[in-house]
Structure 1
Amino acid sequence: MQFDDKVVLITGAAGGIAVEAARAFAKEGAKLALVDLKKDALEKAAESIEAKEKLLLTANVAKENEVKEYVEKTKDYFGHIDVFINNAGINGDFATITEQTEENFRNVLDVNTMGVFFGLKYVLEVMKEQKSGAVVNTASNGGLLGAPGMSAYIASKHAVIGLNKSASMEMSEYGVRVNAVAPSGVDTEMMKSIEKNATGESSEEAREQFASTVPMNRYATAEEIADLMVFLASDKASFISGSYYRIDGGQGAQSV
């Protein structure tokens, strides 16, 4: 088991991708530290995950002191952090730039960009000291492309790609690898929210409309994203760092 007794820290742990990632790492023998904003949702999600050990932590990733605290609690409990799945994120409200509110824009950047930054700031310090570790940031094909009505989300995920590159360069001498996944639409509750924001309702018609932009004509499953995360965090990816991986059914091949 390639993650036997290794500690995997996952944020946004009550969400669809994170739950599948937690299950996948647990099957490989990992111990889990699971972080989410909502305690009830986190506890419910954790019930479906069988792992050697599970540490459940509530935190708002947009608040630096709470990020510092969840990292410290994880290290104090397990003694080390081997893998960080820097995953927490929101899509925000759908609006054109001319109709976008400052409140929504800042809220999305606070969670998706500052949350990723704070996570890197404190987890990388732990990994730097132990001279080992692997980080997988959750970006998006929205970090590589544009989309009308989603400027806040698009800007935030472009920033994640940039943070991913800088972090990998800063940490390479310490034996720490940093990569990112960039999914297109994933069959999760978050995607249903995006459908509703864009069309006014979450429906089969909206789903088909979004899926039709993907050459494979479907959404990814959360399990498919989790499998890529596990690979990037594993020793099988030992010479991969600073990269972002599209997992988008060929959608990126349509761009220049």
Structure 2
Amino acid sequence: MGEFVGKVAIVTGASSGIGRASALAFAAAGANVVAADVDVAGGEETVRLIDAAGGTAVFQGADVSRVEEVDALVQRAVSEYGGLDVAFNNAGIEGTMAPVTECTLETWDRTIAVNLSGVFYAMRAEIPAMLDRGAGAIVNCASIAGLVGFPALPAYVASKHGVVGMTKSAALECATQGIRINALCPGVIDTPMVQRVTTDEEVKHAFEQAEPVHRFGRPEEMADVTLWLCSERASFVTGQAIAADGGWTAQ
């Protein structure tokens, strides 16, 4: 395809799932990829897969809840490849399921730190780097939980709603500066995160039936939407929360 030849892309949460699929897709489309994650082994495996497919990538360990590590990630992209053109701020955690009255402060603080503050830290560093290039595109990974509520996931739902709101604000700030910013809102996708909560076959079946298409989404399907949002084909799309959810939020 070659749509991103000469472009530099950051993907956080790149060790597995949607992040890995997106890092592979960006590389296959010609981008120089900086794959970031706290999971060093998984992130390095993503880079090996990219190398094996003939792409170009480096791994950068980064806990997105730590601003200095996010700043170092963006600096790595600039020093390694000369700049930054696109970013997929995908890193996230689900936290421990519990109703509001039983959600621990630890779960709340950690989930907000990774899912919401992590995206803020990322955009805070990425936007200036993109302004230096004169243009750019950012996709923040939210969730259908950024569009509708789910019981027993107060921190996760709050963090993802926050990502959607912050995406809209940042998009308006950058609208005349050549940088487009959108949020991807996946439905139930077959990733390690979802697999952790669907180990029971009955629970898995219930999740599948809750999707109008009666199946889980694939990480590669989310990568396709992400690449489109970062491409010139989406040149008039900014400030949007795009639900790629098998129809879940249409119900």
Q: For the superposition of Structure 1 and Structure 2, which TM-score range results when normalised by the shorter chain?
A: over 0.9
Q: 1:51 deviation in Å?
A: 4.7
Q: Tell me the C-alpha RMSD between the 2 structures.
A: 1.0
Q: Give the alignment of 1:237-256 within 5 angstroms.
A: 237-254=234-251
Q: Is the 8 A contact 2:188 2:216 kept in 1?
A: yes
Alignment pair present for 1:136 and 2:139 = yes
Q: 1:203 deviation in Å?
A: 2.2
Residue 249 of structure 1: SS of its match in structure 2? Answer: coil
Residue 136 of structure 1 aligns with an amino acid whose one-letter code is V
Residue 153 of structure 1 aligns with an amino acid whose one-letter code is Y
Residue 202 of structure 2: SS of its match in structure 1? Answer: helix
Q: Is the 8 A contact 1:30 1:51 kept in 2?
A: no
Residue 179 of structure 1: SS of its match in structure 2? Answer: strand
**What's the counterpart of residue 104 of structure 2?**
101
**What's the counterpart of residue 180 of structure 2?**
177
Q: Is the 8 A contact 2:47 2:58 kept in 1?
A: no
Q: Is the 8 A contact 2:142 2:164 kept in 1?
A: yes
- The more displaced of 126-135 and 58-67 is 126-135
Q: 1:41 deviation in Å?
A: 1.8
Q: 1:46 deviation in Å?
A: 2.1
Residue 168 of structure 2 aligns with an amino acid whose one-letter code is K
**What's the counterpart of residue 86 of structure 1?**
89
**What's the counterpart of residue 156 of structure 2?**
153
Q: Among residues 199, 206, 221, which one is paired with 1:224 in the alignment?
A: 221
After TM superposition, the score normalised by the length of structure 1 is 0.94
Q: 1:150 deviation in Å?
A: 0.8
Q: 1:162 deviation in Å?
A: 0.6
**Separation in 2, partners of 1:125, 1:181:** 22
* Deviation beyond 6 Å, 4+ runs, structure 1: none
**Separation in 1, partners of 2:45, 2:250:** 38
Per-residue CA deviations over 1:143-185 (Å, capped at 9, x if unaligned) read 0111111111000000000110011011111100001110111
Residue 170 of structure 1 aligns with an amino acid whose one-letter code is E
**Separation in 2, partners of 1:68, 1:30:** 21
**What's the counterpart of residue 208 of structure 2?**
211
**What's the counterpart of residue 199 of structure 1?**
none
Q: 1:194 deviation in Å?
A: 3.0
Percent identity of equivalent pairs:
37
Q: Among residues 125, 129, 132, which one is paired with 1:126 in the alignment?
A: 129
After TM superposition, the score normalised by the length of structure 2 is 0.96
**Separation in 1, partners of 2:137, 2:16:** 21
Per-residue CA deviations over 1:18-59 (Å, capped at 9, x if unaligned) read 111112111211111011112122112222223532121001
Q: Is the 8 A contact 1:116 1:137 kept in 2?
A: yes
Q: 1:208 deviation in Å?
A: 0.7
Q: Is the 8 A contact 1:82 1:134 kept in 2?
A: yes
**Separation in 2, partners of 1:185, 1:155:** 18
